[in-house]
Structures are given as C-alpha cells and as structure tokens.
Amino acid sequence: MSTRALYLDRSPGEVRGLVTLGGKPERLLIERDGESVVQRLGAVSVGRVRRLERALGLAFIELAGGEDATAPIGRLVEGSAVEVEVAAEGRRGKAPVVRVLGPGEGQPRLLAAGPGLVARLAAYAPGAAIVEGTPSRTLADEAEEVALQRVHDLAGGGALTIEPTQALTAIDVDMGARSGGDPRRAAKQANLAAIAEGARLLRLKGLGGLVVFDLIGKGHDGAAISAAAKAAFQPDGAAVSIGPISRFGLFELSLPRTVTPTAERLTGASGRLTALSCALRVARVLEREGRADPGGRLLVRCSADVAAALEPYIEAMTDLLGSRFEVRVESGLDREAYAVSTA
C-alpha cells in the first residue's frame, strides 16, 4: 500500500506544502504573503445578500472588502446579513461558493480565517512527520512543474493528456508504445493505470467538477473501471459521483471543487507564469545560490515586471544573504528568462 509523506517549504513571500503518494506529488498547497484570507477554504464571515438570481438559483453574497461569493438561494432575502463559510475557493471567472450557516449581524467582515497551510497539510497524513529543508524545496519545485504539464507518462508505456476547460476537464488516454501481447489486455491495463494516475494528478492540479476520460479501445470492462475509479478517487470524499462508460468510450465522473486550481495560482490567463510566480522563483534561486557561495556576490537579471514583483521581498532576502546581490532589469528580456549568477 502506498504511503503519504508531507513536506513544507518556507521561502520569502511564500509557503508551500507538498503531499506525496508513493513518492509522487499528490497535492501542492500554496500560501503567499498579502493574499486575502476571506476567500480561503473554511473561512467564516458575515456577508450581505447583494442580489438574487432566481433563474440561476443563486444568491450573490458580498463579503468583506467587497468580494463576492455565491450560494444556493434557499430562503435567503436580498439585503439580509448571513453568516457563511467558504466551501469552494474561487477560480478564474468564478466566485467562491459559500455554505450559509445562519443569520448574521452587522457589516460584511471576516469572523475566522480558514485552517492555515500547516494544519491543512498535516490533515492529509495524520501523525506523519513534516519534512522541511532542502528536500522539501526540491520536491515542491518539481511538483510545480508536474502540475503545469499537459502530458504525463504512464508506467509501462502510454500517456494521458489533461486539458481543463471552463465546462469540464478532459483526459485523453493514449496507449503509445505500450506492449503486452494481447492488445485488448494492454488497453485495459493502460486505462486502469490512467485512472489511478489521473486521480493523483487531478488532486495535484487542484481540479474538480465534471471529468471525462476518453478511454482506449472498445468493449470496456465497466465493473473493473468503476472499481478502479472508486479506489483511486476515494481520497476525494463521498461527494465523488461515478458514471457509466458511454458507447463512445467516455468515462465520466464528478469531483468536488474545493481549492483554486494550481495552474491558476501560478499562471495568468495566457498560461504563462505570472510576474509574481517568477519573482518568487528568483527569490528561491537567489537563496540557494547565496547559501552555496556564502561570500560571493550575486546578480539577478530579469524583466521589469519581475523586478517590480520581487521588490517587496528584497528586505527579507537581504536579511538572509546580506547586501551582496543586485537586481538588474534588462529591457526586452522575457519574463520567464530570468537568471541568477555570480557577479
């Protein structure tokens, strides 16, 4: 049976928690300085029912700072104060979803922040030690790269491609050069492997909602596929709903949406790393190089937007390394083409 291990990486501006399953990344938790905690999973607030959209069955609820959330209309009354808890964090183009706890009093305000990163991390493997230091930094960096990939290799051959859209997440299973004598048996093994890997990767990517696997071949063993999915998605809770395989070889299931997708934490709408994500990566590289060469002077070359995003963390980096690094803006340099070298 595969076991889970926990890792924690602290760096200027950011804390990352990593859960691995059988040595592979399964969940990546990220908290950044200055983020609003009002929309964090589990946060409890007093909100005001701003408007009701009866055609959609939704209530739009104003939270502290003017941020909006949605909830089922139920018996809510426009203009009333309610106490709510964040049940699903927001994602690009979608407000967070809240659970109405009861009537509230006063103006919109935060009552209690949701569980912090360390508490959430520990809950995934109760009693397990949380590893910090260099191994955690390395594994968290690797997990970020995996979370941003589209195509993922399967053990034994083949691959799966994960494509999130606004409506659903599509997963294409490709047998590739997978061998095994009987093609039908090889296809079944690839499909079962894809479901197990897909479940882990969806958790790493923070994806939920409707998921559709485009399976290999025809005449699928529905019972085996369903059993594999129940086992693979068991960590996602009782809200997982598994459907039958269609005559087109599509296997559908619905997963609870709870957290902001990892890619949306790291990248912009274009799919490229944000200036802040690049700046935080620069800070980690600068720290690593500074510790490797305690007496050397260091030079950061980066674009103007990355330098601006790095500015709030200069003091923290100076506390770590001293005043022995320089940040130099290079006109025309691509955001992701930053470099750290000895001066």
> Would residue 267 count as lying in a domain?
no
The answer to whether 27 and 300 have CB atoms below 8 angstroms apart is no
Contact 165, 148 (CB under 8 A): no
Statement to judge: residues 159 and 242 lie in one domain: yes
Cα–Cα distance measured from residue 301 to residue 318, given in angstroms and rounded to the nearest whole number: 17
Structure confidence at residue 230 (pLDDT): 97
Same domain, 205 and 237: yes
Average pLDDT, the chain: 94
**Count of the separate structural domains present in the chain:** 4
Mean pLDDT of 311-328: 95
Return the half-sphere exposure (C-beta side, CA atoms, 13 A cut-off) of residue 260.
22
User: What CATH number does the domain containing 294 carry?
Assistant: 3.40.1260.20
* 87/128 same-domain check: no
Model confidence over 118-149: pLDDT tens digits? 999 999 999 999 999 999 999 999 999 999 99
Is residue 8 one of the residues assigned to a domain? yes
pLDDT per residue over 60-76, tens digit each? 999 998 989 999 999 99
In a domain, 193, yes or no: yes
Q: Which of 34-38, 116-120, 311-315, 327-331 has the lowest mean pLDDT?
A: 34-38
Whether the Cβ atoms of residue 253 and residue 243 lie closer than 8 Å to each other: yes
Domain match, 30 and 53 both: no
Residue 296 lies in a domain: yes
pLDDT digits (tens, 9 = 90+) for 5-54: 999 999 999 999 999 999 999 999 999 999 989 999 999 999 999 999 99
The residue among 245, 228, 94 whose CA lies nearest residue 165 is 94
Same structural domain, 282 and 172: no
- Give the Å distances, CA to CA, from 103 to 45, 144, 178, 210, 322: 11, 41, 58, 32, 52
Q: Model's pTM, two decimal places?
A: 0.94
Q: Are residues 256 and 171 in the same domain?
A: yes
Return d(Cα 276, Cα 293) in angstroms, integer.
26
Residues 29 and 70 in one domain: no
* 153 in a structural domain: yes
Handedness of CA 188, 254, 205, 133 (dihedral sign): negative
Q: Where are the alpha helices (DSSP H) in the chain?
A: 117-123, 134-148, 183-205, 222-232, 262-266, 275-292, 304-310, 314-321
27 with 54, same domain: the answer is: no
Structural domain of 119 = 4-36+115-139
Residue 179 pLDDT grade (very low, low, confident, very high; cuts 50, 70, 90)? low
**224 assigned to some structural domain:** yes
CATH value at residue 97:
2.40.50.140
157 and 247 within one domain: yes
Looking at the domain assignment, is residue 144 inside a domain? no
CA distances from 262 to 154, 251, 266 (A): 21, 24, 6
Given the structure tokens 């809510």, which residue do they identify?
A: 76
Of 204, 234, 262, the domain-final residue: 262
Helices 275-292 and 314-321, axial angle in degrees (round to 10) = 10
186 and 223 both lie in a single domain: yes
135 in the same domain as 72: no
Q: Please name the helix (run of DSSP H) or strand (run of DSSP E) that holds residue 12, with its range, or none.
A: none
Are 119 and 104 within one domain? no
Residue at which a domain ends, from 262, 283, 301: 262
Residue 268 domain-assigned? Answer: no
- Answer yes or no: are the C-beta atoms of 157 and 177 closer than 8 Å: yes
